Amino acid sequence: MENLFAWQRAGRRRLLNQLALLGASVLLPGIGLAQSDKPVSLIVGYSAGGSADLVARVVGAELSKRLGRQVIVENVAGASGMIAAQKALNAPADGHFIYMGGTDTVLVPMVNPKVRLDWEKDLLPVGRMTTVPMVFAVPTGSPHATLSDLAGALRKSGKENFNYATPGIATMQHLYGSLINKRAKVEMLHIPYRGGAQIVNDLVGGQVDSAVLVLSTAMPFLKEGKIKALSVSDGAPVPQLPNVRRIGDEEGFNGISLPLWQGLFVKAGTSPSIVAAYEKALLDALAQPDVRTKLTEAGITVAPMTGRELRAFVGPQAALYRDIVKTAKITME
């Protein structure tokens, strides 16, 4: 009889152990149990210390809590984020690699024929995280208070040497200036810099007539009254700039928005159950008040979307990029 009781106790222990293992595997359905302690790499195409890195680290820490697995931010800088994209595509489609993509993921293959990346075929969207408005700004001493004022003055005077500075050719800032040229029927001259560090100083000093800046870069100078914003690129209201018109509200722009955006993707072929688990963890992470506060204070708008919503959002944005690139004949190699 004692042997019978011992056998029953052993059976119950085996059952409890199996249930515990099953519970652990629910954290990431579809990933083998033997791999459950392996970290997840969050691949970011830009160096540590920038805004993309900030988003990755803030969100990645929350993902770790919700997935029950360590999420490690891996900075793979170079080629406008394309080296990181290729690293993600070369990795197994097993959920151990998440790619943080965004506007460059869609734009760069359009302007550089050497890049072999098709976001619709090669990647599965997990969800959108954030948007970052761009600001079209002029020196404080400029006589123009709005983009409409400036465009009207340029058309009337026929002045063709009015310029706008951006961090470089084929950046989203370049596209924003090209969009204004096209829709406002003006011919501002593009002045590409190598990166954005010097642009604001030159704008303040009057070395350039105008510039397209990300909100986080522009805000300190706007607060100090050293520059003024004439438009913002996002379709959503920008709380930090309540009196600045959105580009889509300007005549001739018909509700257009052109924000920088960031989202998470995995390699095509990844199990739908893994994608669903990551999507839920991402949306939960973005709902946390401290996450929203940290990102908002950095000039970044928390703008969550599901994977399905992200795909629907990117489609029209990609068509707009393509139209601007074609009209302005923008290329990059």
The whole-angstrom separation of Cα 205 and Cα 141 is: 10
Phi, psi dihedrals of residue 139, rounded to the nearest 5°: -60, 155
**Number of Cβ atoms within 10 Å of the Cβ of 134:** 26
pLDDT of residue 325: 97
Please name the residue that has the structure tokens 């003006």.
186
Q: What distance lies between CA 300 and its chain's CA centroid?
A: 10
Assign domain 134-249 one CATH number from 3.40.50.10780, 3.40.190.10, 3.90.1410.10, 3.40.50.300.
Answer: 3.40.190.10
The whole-angstrom separation of Cα 272 and Cα 274 is: 5
pLDDT of residue 189: 95
**Which residues of the chain form CATH 3.40.190.150?**
37-130+262-328
- Kind of pairing between the strands at 134-139 and 260-267: unpaired
**Which residues of the chain form CATH 3.40.190.10?**
134-249
Q: Where are the alpha helices (DSSP H) in the chain?
A: 2-25, 51-67, 82-90, 103-111, 119-122, 147-157, 172-184, 199-205, 215-223, 272-286, 289-297, 307-328
> What's the predicted TM-score (pTM) here?
0.85
CA distance readout (Å), 161 to 8, 138, 151:
88, 15, 13
Residue 58: HSE in the Cβ half-sphere, 13 Å Cα cutoff: 24
pLDDT of residue 237: 84
CA distance readout (Å), 25 to 57, 64, 182, 273:
25, 15, 53, 12
The whole-angstrom separation of Cα 247 and Cα 182 is: 13
Residue whose C-alpha is closest to residue 248's, from 230, 231, 228: 231
pLDDT of residue 333: 66
Q: What is the CATH number of domain 37-130+262-328?
A: 3.40.190.150
**Which residues are within 8 A (CB) of 2 and not within 5 positions of it... i.e. 6 or more apart?**
none
pLDDT of residue 184: 95
- Kind of pairing between the strands at 189-192 and 227-232: unpaired
pLDDT of residue 188: 95
Residue whose C-alpha is closest to residue 43's, from 93, 5, 86: 86
pLDDT of residue 299: 83
CB distance 99 to 44 below 8 Å: no
Residue whose C-alpha is closest to residue 324's, from 183, 175, 212: 175
pLDDT tens, per residue, the chain with 333 residues = 444 444 455 555 554 444 444 443 444 444 433 345 789 999 999 989 888 999 999 999 999 999 999 999 999 999 889 999 999 999 999 999 999 999 999 999 999 989 999 999 999 999 999 999 999 999 999 999 999 999 999 998 866 689 999 999 999 999 999 999 999 999 999 999 987 779 999 999 999 999 999 998 899 999 999 999 999 999 888 888 999 999 999 999 999 999 999 999 999 999 999 999 999 999 999 999 999 999 988 888 999 999 999 999 999 999 999 999 999 999 986
Q: What's the token pair of residue 91?
A: 């990795």
Q: What distance lies between CA 303 and its chain's CA centroid?
A: 10
302 by DSSP, 3-state: which? strand
